[in-house]
Amino acid sequence: MEVRPIRQAQGRPIDINPQAKAILAAVGSFLDSRKLEAYVIGGFLRDILVGRQSHDIDLAVAADPLVVGRELADALGAHFVALHEEGSIARIVLPGESVRNLDLLPLHVEIEADLAERDFSINAMAVSLGQLLADGPLSIVDPCGGRRDLADGVVRALRPDVFQIDSLRLLRAVRLVAELDFSLDPRTAESARQDAPLLSQAAAERQRDELMRILATPRAAPGLRLADELGLLDRLLPELAVIKGEEQPKEHEWDVFRHSLETVAALDALLSSDEPPDRHWARLWGELWREVGQFAAVREHFQEEVCQGHARVALLKLSALLHDIAKPETRTFEENGRMRFFGHARVGAARAAAIMRRLRFSGTEARQVEVMVREHLRPLQTAQDGPPTRRALYRYFRDTGEAALDVLVLSLADHLATVGPRLDWQDWQAHLGLVGHIVAQRFAEEALTPVASGRLVSGHDLMEALGLTPGPLVGRLLGAIEEAQGAGEVTAREEALALARRELERLTTAEAGEG
């Protein structure tokens, strides 16, 4: 066994989030009262050693986790979940935001034996809970060289069959590389390539969660490239296979697959919390946030979680990866030989929705990705004939809903990934100016979101005033009024009713003409 006393640079103690430390202290007090030994292991320890905050804690306990876990959950006022009854693994879901999950695993006779069964060396370290909570240097139990690999920035599997034991570890390796900005050990990479076909054995939900954690990092594009090099991406998202090598018109720098990855890379840079180190991307990043950074809600929007712990930025990057997925099946050629992809956004939205269902995303997430893929061309379409009109903006916000800001940034990333190194700064400035204008209108004009401003008339009002019966026609008239209200063309109940009468007359005349 290798036990290394450590202390952070310049004598600073290990930095643990105060809320996490409070939870650990409560857990320690509970276990001490029962004279139970426990070790903090895995990702939480790894992350605090490299100065990252972790939302999950793994604890090896000298007791049956399924028994002590229920008692501990009650003591913490948390929710108990039996993750793996045969393996006696329990999860305590905590109500706070700092630490969400506390996983309890059984501690065998020797902690070293437990660590040797883990996946990667950087996850195979442990420290006793009591020592972690005390002041002073830590003695890390490190039988597999995890501290050395942390220092070298390497993700290394502990043995050749690590992916055969749990195939989800294939994606976990990629995720750790992306999260930590590490490299993958060559032997581990070779094992991953050989075992890539096993990925399908992992539950769809587990694959989904690893994918979303990769996409949530500022290195999502390199993570996806690594997954592709290892043969994992086609197994995770087999729908992407058809866009590999798919040619595009001369306006595009890359084929459809490379373009999709470059769109994700552009989002990595544009949505970075800090200025990118590359001068080119730093300039693009700076110009974007000078344009929209005055609206604090924009930054807050991209920092949100949609549901299931999935970050909004990850959902946007998934949409970027899928936004041109239907180009192969919609490709046509005009008489002059020009290549077109009519309807690819609409067809692609349906394909994306199917992928979201297969990977067990929530209905909310599936709808937002479907909207982003369907509407990714929309921002530029609003300004085809000059600055977007108020009606065009109303329609844009109506059709994109909660994904309105996401679609705007996706359109910018799509632009950058189309032209690549041939970027024309005037075109970019014009596109950025359009996005800034739409964002400004969104926050300046409440009427652009009629739900917030309230309807001028109800369906009952229309039926009573126009002598109508319940049916689709009433909804159609309400939609016309709502759109005119959003465009600022009607502002009072009487104006809304007058518009409804004109629209009803127009529809009646049109139907009579068709008859």
φ, ψ of residue 163 to 5 degrees: the values are: -80, -25
Q: Is the same domain home to 258 and 405?
A: yes
Does residue 145 contact residue 134 with C-beta atoms inside 8 Å?
no
Task: Judge if 479 and 402 occupy the same domain.
Answer: no
Rounded to two decimals, the pTM is: 0.86
Domain assignment present for residue 125? The answer is yes
Pair (253, 388) in one structural domain: yes
- Residue 262 placed within a domain: yes
Q: What is the CATH number of the domain that holds 173?
A: 1.10.110.30
Query: How far is Cα 72 from Cα 61, in angstroms, rounded to an integer?
Result: 12
Tell me: the pLDDT tens digits for 37-84? 999 998 999 998 988 888 889 999 999 999 999 999 999 999 999 886
More confident of the two residues 139 and 496: 139
140 and 217 share a domain? no
Q: Does 477 fall in a domain?
A: yes
Do 55 and 199 lie in one domain? The reply is no
Name the one residue in this structure whose structure tokens are 């005037």.
426
Q: What total of structural domains would you count in the chain?
A: 4
What are 302-343's pLDDT values in tens digits? 989 888 789 999 999 999 999 999 999 999 998 888 899 999
- The predicted pLDDT at position 450 comes to 52
Report whether pLDDT(512) > 70: no
- Residue that terminates a domain, selected from 236, 261, 289: 236
Q: Which of 118, 152, 186 is the last residue of a domain?
A: 152
- Assigned domain for 244 exists: no
Q: What pLDDT does 7 receive?
A: 38
Q: Say what percent of the chain tops pLDDT 70.
A: 93
Domain residues for 16? 3-152
- The amino acid present at 101, given as its one-letter code, is N
Q: Which of 120, 152, 184 is the last residue of a domain?
A: 152
Q: Percent of the chain scored above 90 by pLDDT?
A: 66
Note the pLDDT of residue 12.
Answer: 38
**In a domain? residue 243:** no
Question: Which backbone phi and psi does 21 adopt, to 5 degrees?
Answer: -65, -35
Mean pLDDT of 136-146: 89
Residue 120, classed as helix, strand or coil, is strand
Q: Is residue 216 part of a domain?
A: yes
Across the range 336-351, mean pLDDT stands at: 94
Per-residue pLDDT, averaged over 251-273, amounts to 97
| Domain shared by 165 and 218, yes or no | yes
